[in-house]
Amino acid sequence: MGVVPTSAFDPLFWAHHANVDRLFAMWQQNNPDVVPPPDIYNTVLSPFNVTVKQMWNPEPQNLGYDYVASIEEHPLLAGLLAAKRALTGQDAFSTPLLSVSKDDLGPNFQRVQLRLSGPEHTERGYVVLVFVNQDDATVETQTVGNPHFAAAIPLLAHGPCLGQDANHCDPAASPRGKFDIRSPHHLTPFEEYADITSAVNSALARGEDNIRVKLLVTDFEGNAVVSNDISAKVISLVST
């Protein structure tokens, strides 16, 4: 990545610059009143023929992308459900988990995401299969070539805790300091996203007015699993 003419061929280049852009956007949100001096603000950035001002406060349509608002800020398309109810117990395997109408998606949506907020790392690994408008789906249901199949979300295992004392491997309960740059605890609850746009569009193309999402949990061998280990704080659908 150190050779400018070919740096964009390195996959790390894109991850690096995307994260720099993300961090800068987060900094701007926390410092909305900070702008460069006027003599710099209106400088044209050669050879791109745009000014610092245009890049400091870019319009999404000019960049071709935007950041999805947080779950708290973005209207949810379905009521929030506790994941311990949604991902455990027989009801999770026999009825749709989330259901929304076509109108709830908005007239010009481009993407629909299923979000698992705060699932915990488990000793065993699991896969969450996502089906749209296929209420009778089971873990044996065909996925390849199936327009109802939306995604497979892996929940990777951390294995057994080797510490001798109770709660040895539990993440710290207190929040991290603002300037704590250490990597988070490896068992910190995380975020999982699945793009289910294709399956939703297929349902709408078939003339179906309601979108119903069903989750099935399997182990890595494809066997159905009902486990109290699987949990998350919120399961939601978000359209953008």
pLDDT tens digits for 18-28?
888 888 888 88
pTM for the predicted model, two decimal places: 0.60
Q: Look at residue 168 and give its three-state secondary structure.
A: coil
Task: State the Cα–Cα distance between residues 97 and 90, nearest whole angstrom.
Answer: 12
Q: What is the mean pLDDT of residues 185-214?
A: 87
pLDDT tens digits for 104-162?
888 788 888 888 777 777 777 888 888 999 988 988 898 888 999 998 888 777 777 77
pLDDT tens digits for 77-108?
333 333 333 444 444 445 567 788 888 888 78
C-beta of residue 1 within 8 angstroms of C-beta of residue 14: no
Query: What residues contact 188, with CB distance under 8 A and at least 6 apart?
Result: 171
Point out which residues pair with 193 in neighbouring strands: 115
CA distances to 45, 84, 91, 99, 213 from 135, in Å:
54, 20, 12, 11, 8
